[in-house]
């Protein structure tokens, strides 16, 4: 039971950190860049990396 509880706590922390980082990035993003463009660029680069 302790192992499962630890995994749940770590997962929750990771999710919270991801949300905080996403909010910070979207706040400090230059106005010229669209979030959708950066998201599509990230996804395309990830798929490119997985292909190679």
Domain residue extents for the chain = 2-26+34-51
pLDDT at 31: 56
What pLDDT score was predicted for residue 36? 56
Kindly give the residue spans of alpha helices, DSSP state H, lying in 1-52.
2-28, 35-51
What is residue 50's predicted lDDT score, i.e. its pLDDT? 55
Residue with tokens 């990035």: 25
Please provide the size of the chain in residues.
52
Distance of alpha carbon 33 from alpha carbon 43, whole angstroms: 16
Token couple for 20: 């905080």
Tokens of 38: 């950066």
More confident residue, 41 or 23: 23
| CB distance 29 to 38 below 8 Å | yes
């Amino acid at each position: 039971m302790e192992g499962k509880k630890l995994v749940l706590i770590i997962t929750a922390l990771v999710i919270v950190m991801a949300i905080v980082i996403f909010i910070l990035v979207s706040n400090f993003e230059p106005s010229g860049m669209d979030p959708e463009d950066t998201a599509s660029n990230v996804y395309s680069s990830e798929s490119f990396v997985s292909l190679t």
